[in-house]
Amino acid sequence: MQIAIVDYGRGNLHSVHSGLEKAVELSGVDAKVVLTSDPEVIAAADKVVFPGVGAMGDCYQQLLNSNLDTAVREAFKSKPFLGVCVGMQVLFETGEENGGSDGLGFVKGKVVKFAAEQGLKVPHMGWNEVFHNDHPLFEGIPQAARFYFVHSYKVQPADIAVQQAHCEYGGQFTAAVGADNWFATQFHPEKSHQWGLKLLSNFVKWNPAKS
């Protein structure tokens, strides 16, 4: 099996690659993890990981500039797909950052800023408890397990049914979304030690057709 990490110039690629390689070892699955900016490699991969850091609009534009948007769209529609951090946000339709930005529009909804006037420290940075639904990627992970976050914006899905986990920071916000063959997290599983590694291992083993 081959797992492709999309390299479009935005994302903590070294950490994601290292985390996935550890997850492959933990899972016992015979799999190879590759970093790639080649749409043909992405199309041929069995699973795809879509990371991102920085501003949503910049990530979206860089993806277009890299001519990888079509490959990402097809992967999102057809194979086990994992979005991470801004790689989750870009899946949505629009965002408030930098006066407004477009997203890929794969998931209906928007990305909005945390309200600093509530006395919150923005960005939301550090470890926080995550409460999840009964999704295969959370198998073996307890409620209130702590994951690592770094973000100033949060997603607001148009359909709450896609929310697979939530977190509390100035109120409840969406920490993970997913449906069918795709899943995405606001937190960084590759930086979240035990439980992040467990989630990545679950992704390596995940067969949505049997979920």
Distance CA 81, CA 47 (A): 6
Catalytic: which of 17, 132, 151, 188?
Answer: 188
Q: What share of the chain is helix, strand, coil (3-state, %, to 5)?
A: 35, 35, 30
- Is 188 noted as a catalytic residue in this protein? yes
What is the number of residues in the chain?
Answer: 211
Cβ-Cβ contacts under 8 Å for 54 (sequence gap 6 or more): 10, 86
Contact 90, 57 (CB under 8 A): no
Residue 1's closest CA among 37, 23, 84?
Answer: 23
Catalytic: which of 17, 85, 135, 166?
Answer: 85
Residues with a known catalytic role: 85, 188, 190
